[in-house]
Amino acid sequence: MSIILFLDFAGVFVFAATGALAASRRQLDIIGFIFLANITGFGGGTVRDVILGDTPVIWVKDPTYLLIGTAAAILVYLIAHKIESRYRALLWLDAIGMAMFATMGAAKGLSLGFGPSIAIVMGIFTATLGGIMRDMVAGEPSVLMRREIYISAALAGAAAYVALWSLTENPLYSAVPATLIAFLVRGGALLFGWKLPNYHAKRGRTTKELERDGIVPHDD
């Protein structure tokens, strides 16, 4: 199995596990676990394939993906109650899956013949959109809207893969460092609250405050 295929399957497994952890936080049943796990596991890859016109999407052509997502869901269903903090587990697995998919998405973009900028964007999309879907469907506040570094870590991993590939043309020597870079950047953000400077931005007014200040009309 190539390193890229390994990253794809492993990324599906850990992202699916984060979907199952979100299902556990919502107290869904086993079918709900499997549903949310699979949406999270290949939601990002599905959007990537659809945007690139590579349909039917990969998990329709190869049922291995459904098996992996479902296995992750069942595993989490059986052990979630033994995990002290499911949300902390979710954040760390999300970081691992994000790093794998940033590399894998960039590699897929290049392998379909697209240029470096599109390959990097595909890395970012594959890495982030599954998590966005998980948070939207589960009604969680989106991980991406937190102020610690997230998208930048996916960008770093995808860009590293594209740069290393152009230097080495060796998937292994490109994929392993790129995945590590993305994971270390996001892991540092989780451990130490790393942020990029945010240049003067202040919190936006809430809808209530916007109505009070006459920015939007009272909506009732």
Considering only residues 27 to 56 of the shown chain, the ones binding a copy of itself according to CB under 8 A are 27-32, 35, 46, 50-53, 55-56
Q: Could you say which of 10, 71, 75, 118 contacts a copy of itself (CB under 8 A)?
A: 118
Amino acid at 82: K
Check if the beta carbon of residue 71 is closer than 8 Å to that of residue 14. no
Q: Report the distance separating Cα 182 and Cα 202, nearest Å.
A: 28
Q: Reduce the DSSP state of residue 84 to 3 states and report it.
A: coil
Q: Report the distance separating Cα 131 and Cα 112, nearest Å.
A: 24
Q: C-beta of 151: minimal distance to a copy of itself in Å?
A: 5
Q: C-beta of 53: minimal distance to a copy of itself in Å?
A: 3
**What six digits make up the tokens of 93?**
């697995």
Cβ nearer to a copy of itself, comparing 3 with 70: 70
Q: Could you say which of 71, 75, 80, 176 contacts a copy of itself (CB under 8 A)?
A: 80
Q: Report the distance separating Cα 101 and Cα 45, nearest Å.
A: 8
| Gyration radius of the chain over CA positions | 18
Instruction: Determine if 208 is a binding residue for a copy of itself (CB under 8 A).
Output: no
**What six digits make up the tokens of 211?**
């109505």
Q: Within positions 148 to 167, which residues make up the interface with a copy of itself, using CB under 8 A?
A: 148-152, 155
Cβ nearer to a copy of itself, comparing 3 with 96: 96
Q: Could you say which of 9, 10, 25, 64 contacts a copy of itself (CB under 8 A)?
A: 25
Q: Could you say which of 9, 10, 64, 66 contacts a copy of itself (CB under 8 A)?
A: 66
